[in-house]
Structure 1
């Protein structure tokens, strides 16, 4: 499973709110909503976040393997 938990941790550490993302960083509210709800987002979005916050991809998303059921 892909998670955006690292992104929210980064935001908390830097004391940046969702409101600031929209107003100061000119991010679309729909993009922010997709991140909050772990919905699909594009690689270009991840690239943009990395550029804005001068961070690495691992600071935005994390992968956690999920258990597969034996069907």
Structure 2
């Protein structure tokens, strides 16, 4: 499962905010909801977030393995 917990920490440590992502950079509220609920995002969206936040993809998401 891919989680976006790292995104929220990266966002908190950056000069950007939820507001600037949605208003200034055009990230939709739907995308922000997907991040909040660990839902699928396109690689284009991940690329855009990395550019905006000036970070690596591993600063936004992480693959977590769950064992039965």
**TM-score when scaled to structure 2?**
0.86
Cross-structure match for 1:6: 6
Unaligned runs of 5+ in 2: none
Deviations 1:9-52 (A, max 9, x none): 00111254322211122211111111111111111111111111
Cross-structure match for 1:17: 17
Unaligned runs of 5+ in 1: none
The runs of at least 4 consecutive aligned structure 1 residues that moved more than 2 Å come to none
Number of residue pairs matched by the alignment: 68
**TM-score when scaled to structure 1?**
0.83
Cross-structure match for 1:29: 29
CA RMSD of aligned residues (A): 1.3
1:54 & 1:15 partners in 2: Cα distance? 11
2:23 & 2:29 partners in 1: Cα distance? 10
